[in-house]
Amino acid sequence: MLIKLHNGAIYDPSQNLHGERRDLFVRDDRIVADPGPDTRFDAVYDLTGKIVMAGAIDIHSHIAGGNVNTARLLLPEQHRNHMARRLSLPFANAKWSSFDTGYRYARMGYTTVVEPAMLPVNALDVHLQMADIPILDTAALTILGNDDLLLRLLRAKAGQNQINDYVAWTLNATRALGLKIINAGGANAFKSNVRQFGLDDIVPDYGVSSRQILQTLQTAVHQLGVPHPPHVHCNNLGIPGNVDTIVATMEAAQGLPMHLAHVQFYAYGKEGGKGFSSAAAQLLEAFNRHPNITMDVGQVLFGQTVTISGDVIAQYSRHADASPSKYVMWDAETEGSGGVVPYRYREASFVNTLQWAIGLELFLLAEAPERLFFTTDHPNGAPFTAYPELLRLLMDADYRQQCMLRLNQEALALTLLPNLKRELTLSEVATMTRSAAAKLLGLNDRGHLAPGAVADVAVYDPGKHADAHPDYRALFADAVLLFKSGRLVVKDGQILDRPGGLAQTVAPVYDTGIARTVKHHFDRFYSLKLGQYTVNDADFGERQRFKVHE
């Protein structure tokens, strides 16, 4: 199948294209070079007046796993009887189901999404859930930093090579794209009644600090050559003054690549009468000093959501704020623990207004969009379906000012946001959500529109006001066209096709002797058998499910 996409305004920062009108050519599942003037095409789409980007990539969105399922069970009122059944789209009436997740992302022009917190013990469940998500390619980051075997190895002063082998074995066994570290050591310390855990605090019974765990795992990822740097959820999430923690974490990286997740929740100072203030400028000043660091924002938006996290210390500390008043805390025998706490962000709230403003400050003050990424930490700051609203806030200063009129003015006065007039451009959006996102993840076959790329192409219509301010919320809510691997899956915001995606993985080499160490540990200490732990091709029948990236 050979397709021509004619005369679209292409935004592809990786090729230095910022709205230039070009033709794109798709053969089967790949973008190809111009086949020549005499070529006959199977289909031609006239995209005059339309915006063309690569399919969008979400680097951090909780879309599968135990916490996600627990949230569904805890809040049935959020997803029952939501949509009329459409026979062509299985389970489209189940809001926030795996199926609905794929449809909603695709309508916005997304084609790849990363689940950032996969418990190794829960890896098969995560992959089976992601396999049910239509259209999207997916990936997962496997969690280490609290499990008993790792901490025992560190306590015994195991060599870095043995730690590297354990990390590589875990990535292979769980079919992950990278490593996630959540409040390193904190979940284990929680079991000993620790309720606040800093970077230099010691895990009881193991004699190792959070810093030591973090640095050892970071070194492992770097030495193994895993493209995506360690994806770090820092200590002290949500605590006033925790900007000092995230700055110390940047310094602890010792110049090696590190990605810091949902940093809005760490950009908090202690100024003002309430002892809670924006430290966005301070965080960004440190960010500018550390070019080895990348970050995603974790923007807060107003409305009902549910917070889910493997950081049981943070979740337990705010369970009393649950709205509605119900929550779940849990503990696992292997890697860690976590919690699910419903929450409503309110416009009148001092704290919530400050969180909203801090996220926008980070976006608008940042000087390096290629190192700062577009997330709401779905669903913690807001559901991913709110992305079009966030884009409008970032791209339309007048609209942003109108929204501020409804908010807590005392909180806004403690931020720089009311005086920020910057508007993000389409090229900056394409950088954060396409080209730089693919590069960060090590997915070189997507995020751009050069020949050889996977033919993931999103087309948007700016409407009649293309030369002024379009309604960016409407623009990004519904793609005019979306091609996934060359197949037209969305037209005018409607789902036409639902192909299955692939899970993107890495497979670093390791000494297979580490498997004996892991099996011995499982047999001695865990009720789970090692054979139940690993993810195999056979678990998915005849379906090809995994794509390995070097």
Domains of the chain (ranges; CATH) run 2-53+451-495 (2.30.40.10), 54-441 (3.20.20.140)
Among 108, 98, 100, 103, which residue's Cα sits nearest to residue 130? 98
218-232, 324-338, 478-492: range with lowest mean pLDDT: 324-338
Please report the pLDDT score of residue 92 as a whole number: 52
Rounded distance between C-alpha atoms, residue 457 and residue 485, angstroms:
8
Please report the pLDDT score of residue 77 as a whole number: 76
Q: Which residue has the higher pLDDT, 541 or 343?
A: 343
Structure tokens at 121: 């013990």
Among 369, 496, 493, 402, which residue's Cα sits nearest to residue 107? 493
Measured CA to CA in angstroms, residue 459 lies from 13, 231, 374, 525 at distances of: 16, 30, 19, 53
Please report the pLDDT score of residue 59 as a whole number: 98
Please report the pLDDT score of residue 466 as a whole number: 56
Rounded distance between C-alpha atoms, residue 90 and residue 98, angstroms:
10
Structure tokens at 534: 């690993």
Please report the pLDDT score of residue 97 as a whole number: 85
Tens digits of residue pLDDT in 146-161: 999 999 999 999 999 9
Structure tokens at 126: 């995560």
How far apart, in Å, do the first and last CA atoms of the chain sit?
Answer: 28
Are the beta carbons of 106 and 487 closer than 8 angstroms? no
Are the beta carbons of 4 and 22 closer than 8 angstroms? no
* pLDDT category of residue 453 using cuts at 50, 70 and 90: very high
Rounded distance between C-alpha atoms, residue 533 and residue 120, angstroms:
7
Residue with tokens 């999430």: 237
Q: Three-class SS of residue 340?
A: strand
Rounded distance between C-alpha atoms, residue 175 and residue 63, angstroms:
16
Residue with tokens 């605090």: 201
Residue with tokens 């592809």: 12
Phi, psi of 386 (to 5 degrees): -85, 0
- Reply yes or no on whether the pLDDT at 334 is more than 80: no
Rounded distance between C-alpha atoms, residue 188 and residue 151, angstroms:
9
Are the beta carbons of 333 and 528 closer than 8 angstroms? yes
- Reply yes or no on whether the pLDDT at 145 is more than 80: yes
Please report the pLDDT score of residue 300 as a whole number: 98
Rounded distance between C-alpha atoms, residue 461 and residue 490, angstroms:
13
Are the beta carbons of 447 and 439 closer than 8 angstroms? yes
22-31, 84-93, 479-488, 523-532: range with lowest mean pLDDT: 84-93
Cβ atoms within 10 A of the Cβ of 175, count? 27
Are the beta carbons of 160 and 216 closer than 8 angstroms? yes
Ramachandran class of 65: left when φ > 0, alpha when ψ lies in -120 to 50, beta otherwise: left
- For the four alpha carbons of 31, 506, 295 and 398, in that order, the dihedral sign comes to positive
Q: Which residue has the higher pLDDT, 87 or 294?
A: 294
Please report the pLDDT score of residue 56 as a whole number: 98
Please report the pLDDT score of residue 211 as a whole number: 98
Rg of the chain over all Cα atoms, to the nearest angstrom: 23
Which residue(s) pair with 269 in the sheet?
277
Which residue(s) pair with 196 in the sheet?
none
- For the four alpha carbons of 305, 308, 314 and 316, in that order, the dihedral sign comes to positive
Tens digits of residue pLDDT in 523-538: 998 888 888 789 999 9
Among 147, 194, 167, 182, which residue's Cα sits nearest to residue 67? 182
Rounded distance between C-alpha atoms, residue 230 and residue 200, angstroms:
19
**Mean pLDDT value of segment 462-470:** 70
Which residue(s) pair with 172 in the sheet?
none
**Mean pLDDT value of segment 60-68:** 94
Rounded distance between C-alpha atoms, residue 57 and residue 76, angstroms:
28
Structure tokens at 120: 């190794």
Tens digits of residue pLDDT in 82-114: 444 454 565 555 567 888 999 999 999 999 999
pTM higher than 0.85 for the full model?
yes
Structure tokens at 458: 């999103």
Among 288, 185, 179, 174, which residue's Cα sits nearest to residue 223? 179
Structure tokens at 353: 């207004």
- Reply yes or no on whether the pLDDT at 169 is more than 80: yes
Q: How many CA atoms lie within 13 A of 32 on its CB side?
A: 16
Rounded distance between C-alpha atoms, residue 124 and residue 261, angstroms:
24
Are the beta carbons of 229 and 258 closer than 8 angstroms? yes
Are the beta carbons of 229 and 257 closer than 8 angstroms? yes
Tens digits of residue pLDDT in 11-20: 999 999 999 9
- Reply yes or no on whether the pLDDT at 292 is more than 80: yes
Mean pLDDT of the chain: 94
Please report the pLDDT score of residue 83 as a whole number: 45
From the DSSP assignment, how many helices (H) and strands (E) are in the chain?
18, 24
